[in-house]
Amino acid sequence: MVNSISDKYEKLTKFIRHIYNHIHKLEPSEFQDLGIYINIDYGFFEDFSQNDIELIKDFLTSTNCGLTFRK
Protein backbone atom coordinates (compact mmCIF):
# COMPACT_ATOMS: atom_id res chain seq x y z
CA MET A 1 0.00 0.00 0.00
CA VAL A 2 1.03 3.59 -0.54
CA ASN A 3 2.42 4.86 2.75
CA SER A 4 1.07 8.38 2.79
CA ILE A 5 -1.60 10.52 1.23
CA SER A 6 1.06 12.58 -0.53
CA ASP A 7 2.51 9.41 -2.13
CA LYS A 8 -0.94 8.40 -3.32
CA TYR A 9 -1.63 11.92 -4.59
CA GLU A 10 1.66 11.95 -6.50
CA LYS A 11 0.93 8.59 -8.10
CA LEU A 12 -2.61 9.62 -9.05
CA THR A 13 -1.27 12.87 -10.51
CA LYS A 14 1.09 10.87 -12.72
CA PHE A 15 -1.80 8.63 -13.77
CA ILE A 16 -4.00 11.61 -14.67
CA ARG A 17 -1.12 13.13 -16.65
CA HIS A 18 -0.76 9.82 -18.52
CA ILE A 19 -4.47 9.88 -19.40
CA TYR A 20 -4.28 13.53 -20.48
CA ASN A 21 -1.32 12.82 -22.75
CA HIS A 22 -3.07 9.77 -24.20
CA ILE A 23 -6.28 11.69 -24.96
CA HIS A 24 -4.45 14.51 -26.71
CA LYS A 25 -2.88 12.05 -29.17
CA LEU A 26 -6.34 11.12 -30.46
CA GLU A 27 -8.51 12.84 -33.02
CA PRO A 28 -11.78 14.14 -31.53
CA SER A 29 -13.81 11.64 -33.59
CA GLU A 30 -11.88 8.74 -32.07
CA PHE A 31 -13.07 9.36 -28.53
CA GLN A 32 -16.38 10.97 -29.43
CA ASP A 33 -17.61 7.86 -31.25
CA LEU A 34 -15.77 5.03 -29.54
CA GLY A 35 -14.90 6.27 -26.09
CA ILE A 36 -11.33 6.22 -24.85
CA TYR A 37 -9.69 3.03 -23.72
CA ILE A 38 -6.61 3.48 -21.61
CA ASN A 39 -4.35 0.48 -21.55
CA ILE A 40 -2.03 0.58 -18.58
CA ASP A 41 0.19 -1.90 -16.82
CA TYR A 42 -1.67 -3.50 -13.94
CA GLY A 43 1.45 -3.10 -11.80
CA PHE A 44 0.94 0.65 -11.89
CA PHE A 45 -1.84 0.17 -9.35
CA GLU A 46 -0.06 -2.31 -7.10
CA ASP A 47 0.14 0.24 -4.27
CA PHE A 48 -3.58 1.02 -4.36
CA SER A 49 -6.38 -0.87 -2.67
CA GLN A 50 -9.00 -2.64 -4.77
CA ASN A 51 -11.48 0.01 -3.61
CA ASP A 52 -9.21 2.78 -4.95
CA ILE A 53 -8.97 1.00 -8.29
CA GLU A 54 -12.75 0.59 -8.48
CA LEU A 55 -13.22 4.31 -7.77
CA ILE A 56 -10.80 5.19 -10.57
CA LYS A 57 -12.59 2.82 -12.96
CA ASP A 58 -15.97 4.31 -11.98
CA PHE A 59 -14.64 7.81 -12.61
CA LEU A 60 -13.30 6.87 -16.03
CA THR A 61 -16.55 5.16 -16.94
CA SER A 62 -18.50 8.27 -15.96
CA THR A 63 -16.33 10.31 -18.34
CA ASN A 64 -16.85 7.85 -21.22
CA CYS A 65 -13.39 6.36 -20.80
CA GLY A 66 -12.52 2.71 -20.48
CA LEU A 67 -9.65 1.29 -18.51
CA THR A 68 -8.02 -1.97 -19.51
CA PHE A 69 -5.10 -3.67 -17.84
CA ARG A 70 -2.26 -5.47 -19.54
CA LYS A 71 -0.28 -8.07 -17.64
| Distance separating alpha carbons of residues 2 and 32, to the nearest angstrom | 35
Cα–Cα nearest to 70, from 48, 36, 42, 49? 42
Mean pLDDT, residues 35-40: 56
Task: Write the CB contacts of 41 (distance below 8 Å, at least 6 apart in sequence).
Answer: 69, 70
pTM: 0.41
When pLDDT is cut at 50, 70 and 90, the band that residue 48 belongs to is confident
Mean pLDDT, residues 42-51: 72
Mean pLDDT, residues 64-69: 58
**Confidence (pLDDT) at 19:** 72
